[in-house]
Chain A
Amino acid sequence: MRVIAAFSRTSISAIAVAGFLLSGCSASAPAPVETSVPAEPVVDGAFTLYSGRDEKLVQPLIDQFTAETGIVVEVRYGNTPELAALLLEEGEASPADVFLSQDAGALGALSQAGLFSILPDDIASAMPAGFTSTDGTWAGVTGRARVVVYDGERYTADELPDTIDGYVTSEWAGQLAVAPGNASFQSFVTALRVLDGEDAASGWVKALAGNDPQIFEGNSAILTGVDGGVVGAGLINHYYWYGAAAEVGPENMRAQLKFLTAGDAGSIVNVSGAGILNGGATDADALEFLRYLVSPTGQTYFVEQTFEYPLLPGIDAPAGLPSLQSLINPELDLSDLEDLATTQKLLSDAGLI
């Protein structure tokens, strides 16, 4: 009975044991859940980071940090929204000490759920008001400008409209790529509501929805689409283009960037940031990491490696980018961008999400 011999019970048990051993060897020990929070700051030389930012971007910074301070960082990489959902689900039992977020919306949601601890003053006030939290629960780290990416073979920068209203006219039917499920896009629509008023924002969203918008899942997908000639233009964050250009060379990029007029909602600057979770409130190593992120060394890293805007006063923006001050509308308070729910209702009523 060849078949039965091949699957004999002994061989199955052997395989099962081997499987458990193999998976056990590959796994690190599960982090023990703390049941009591010590009053004194704990310095044990390690902390756990949940990073919503990509490993390629962040790991070299973490390695730099570890080399300078000797603190070991256990990093869990993921999508910002999925990690935020995970943190919300984990609640107080979360093993994470620090959350590094791609956008302010996730930080706002976690702050509202009471999962962040208040940051010490030196971190909370390191960044200018408007680029960091208003209640000291999270700190802004970098700035990300909304831009229009367009097909360089079809258009030149001068032909393109300078304000966001110009991109929902009939000539853009079927040619504009957006990612309505993406937090950065939703932050932009919230900015539109704040800057231009609810009616104007609602009108823009409806015009977009009726103009055969090309829906993509995220900013990278839009950049790839424009670079491949799939659509004429798209709305993304600026640094995606610079990251791609660094890989293949700017002269090889078919997609090109256009910054809209300062003060227009289409050119607002979002922030990425980090916060300390309640479980890590007394972990001095976690605080050290946050200090590092807002320090000149940390900020320069982001300028040089990710081409994002530094938020610390005194650090120069990446070469070739319009200065941060020229983009910011003084009327816009970034903490207002945390009101995502109403924006989502607007987008969902228009059928975009």
Chain B
Amino acid sequence: MVALASAAVAAIPLVYLLVRAGESGPTSIFGTLARGRVLEYVANSLGLAAATTATALVLGTAVAFVITRVQVPFSRAWLLVSALPLAVPSYLAGYGWLVSFPSINGFVPSWLLLTAVTVPYVTLPVAAALRGASGDLEGVARTLGRGPLRAFFVATWPSVRPAAIAGALLVALYALSDFGLVAMMRYPTLTWGINSAYSASFDRAQAATLALLLVVLALIVVAGERAARRQVPRAAARAVAARPVSRPGLLALLPILAVAPLFGVVFPLLGLLSRLLEATALREIDGPRLLGAVGSTVGVAVAAAVFAVLLALPIAALAARHRGRLVAAIESVGYLGHALPGIVVGLSLVFFSLAVVPALYQGIGVLVFAYAVLFMPKAIGTMRAGLGDVPPRLVSVARTLGISPLQAWWRVTVPLALPSVGIGALLVAIATMKELPATLLLRPTGVQTLATELWNRTVVFEFGAAAPYAALLVLVAAVPAVILSGVRSTAKEEL
């Protein structure tokens, strides 16, 4: 029942969209959807999401495999580096590349850069899963004559598959909802259409109709993930020694490890910082204001992480133990916020808070609430996996000792699943730090985060003045990303 309440919260944007779209009447809705450009938007959105998910899945799994199963020097450092693209907002990556190559645009840069910044969503869970997965079966497959790649697919892949697919879901939803990068690369996706509708026509009904279309696409993706997610019983974990590889082999593997951080983090930041040195009219860096922005960013990120985890916990707990249509529906609703562009979630919460709690409007509470709605899905997936991994027999043992189901859950399941809760919280914190459109709409007047300060400068293409804020944003968001790379996925290894 608590899960239903959480799902209701996640459904706020959906309700808002239905209300606004409904205002205009069926002919208008049909007219909006029948535009030829809309078909192009849908095709572009789906194509970009599919391509990004595919490459992120392949690259993420490869990177995770190399880090955990091959004897690379400084493997912990490499895991850390592979998590860094999480700290870079997609619009920042695009911006940093446009500084050096102003003419890039279209599908290919959008696809490549989106892949670069979303790869960690696959790498981190797969690396964690590989650490826990048994390597015995793979060895057995090799002795039976399978080549190394085939052995991997037959023996190891089934047990890391749920983690990889969950990560791929986040990648797909991110690609569907992204606006900043595709706007810079001038690649017209559905989010571009939604934004045009808001900015050009002030016709919120039209924008809402297009946003509902995006929701439909997202639901298709979520359903696809559910179909692909088949829980494989985990074999007894026995750590596998990393395989040593020759020097030339290591050098050949280096590009795999380095490509995403290079493209997504290093190159854009270098591009921006070089402009900082070139600009003749440098806006002075206002120290107290910068610190204020850092404080706001960190503060709301922590608050949002806590709140999102609390909201997601009931849904994740429900989905971990039960199947069935209602559970599937509740979980799907939880993912919706992630698929929608921030402006939609922002406006829906303006609508909701003015209708229900007008005194809190433009207060920090509503902003944190918005982040929780937006990013709850990041927490749901990891927590569901973590909660599901706790052996039910431990809970049964606790029950035989006489404590109630809720107490058993709180005292046995949650502490064991805490690492996955931690991962969920960190993912939400990182996403909050980077978030822009909902923040612009809902923040208390006068409060700035690093992302809004960055936007202030990028909107007039002041590359040089934007650089310090960009660098600081990545730095601040890198802290949870680094912590994330160090967290082990389950406590099972300690048992």
Contact = CB atoms under 8 A, between A and B. Distances in A.
A7 B419 contact: yes
A30 B363 contact: yes
A19 B306 CA distance: 9
A26 B292 contact: yes
Contact of B202 (A19, A33, A81): A81
B18 interface: no
A263 interface: no
Interface in B358-376: 358-364, 368
Contacts of B196: 181, 353
Nearest to A78: B440
B202 A22 contact: no
A330 interface: no
Interface stretch (A157-165, A195-203, A219-227): A219-227
B299 A25 contact: yes
Nearest to B441: A86
Interface stretch (B130-138, B161-169, B396-404, B456-464): B456-464
B10 to A, nearest CB: 20
A56 to B, nearest CB: 7
Interface string B412-448: 0001001101100000000000000100110011110
Contact of B445 (A9, A48, A105, A224): A48
B186 A181 contact: no
Chain B contact surface mostly:
helix
B200 interface: yes
B284 interface: no
Interface in B95-138: 102-103
B460 A181 contact: no
B23 to A, nearest CB: 12
A145 interface: no
A170 to B, nearest CB: 22
A48 to B, nearest CB: 7
Chain A contact surface mostly:
helix
A89 B347 contact: yes
Nearest to A81: B199
A131 to B, nearest CB: 22
A16 B461 contact: no
B35 interface: yes
B295 A85 contact: no
Contacts of B274: none
A228 interface: yes
Interface string A76-102: 111101101110111101010000000
Contacts of A217: 183-184, 186
Given A86-B347, A220-B459, A95 B280 contact: no
Contacts of B35: 348
A230 B262 CA distance: 25
B204 A56 contact: no
A16 B359 contact: no
B36 A23 contact: no
A27 B444 contact: yes
Interface residues of A, number: 78
Contact of A230 (B103, B280, B301): B103
A67 interface: no
B103 A228 contact: yes
Contact of A16 (B302, B350, B440, B447): B302
A54 interface: yes
B350 A90 contact: yes
Contacts of B203: 341
A269 B229 CA distance: 58
Contact of B491 (A4, A16, A228): A4
Nearest to B366: A30
Nearest to B282: A247
B274 to A, nearest CB: 15
Interface residues of B, number: 68
A23 B368 contact: yes
B383 to A, nearest CB: 13
A26 B461 contact: no
A9 B303 CA distance: 16
Contact of B295 (A2, A9, A26, A182): A26
A351 B37 contact: yes
Nearest to A230: B103
Given A7-B418, A77-B456, A86-B350, A353 B360 contact: no
A149 to B, nearest CB: 13
A20 B303 contact: yes
A88 B202 contact: yes
Nearest to A79: B199
B261 to A, nearest CB: 25
Contact of A215 (B186, B354, B460, B491): B186
B296 interface: yes
A32 interface: yes
Given A3-B487, A28-B445, A224-B461, A249 B280 contact: yes
B195 interface: yes
Given A19-B299, A86-B350, A228 B102 contact: yes
Interface of A: 1-4, 6-7, 9, 12, 15-16, 18-33, 48, 54-56, 74-79, 81-82, 84-86, 88-91, 93, 95, 105-106, 109, 181-183, 186, 214-217, 220-221, 223-225, 228-230, 243, 246-249, 340-341, 344, 348, 351-353
27 contacts: A2-B494, A15-B302, A16-B303, A21-B299, A22-B295, A22-B302, A23-B300, A23-B302, A23-B364, A26-B295, A28-B445, A54-B460, A78-B441, A79-B440, A81-B202, A85-B207, A85-B343, A86-B347, A86-B350, A183-B199, A216-B186, A221-B184, A247-B281, A247-B462, A248-B279, A248-B280, A344-B201
Given A23-B299, A89-B347, 9 more contacts: A19-B301, A19-B306, A23-B303, A30-B364, A54-B459, A81-B202, A186-B200, A225-B103, A340-B200
The 10 closest A-B pairs by CB, nearest first: A19-B302, A81-B199, A23-B299, A22-B299, A228-B102, A30-B363, A27-B364, A181-B196, A26-B296, A109-B202
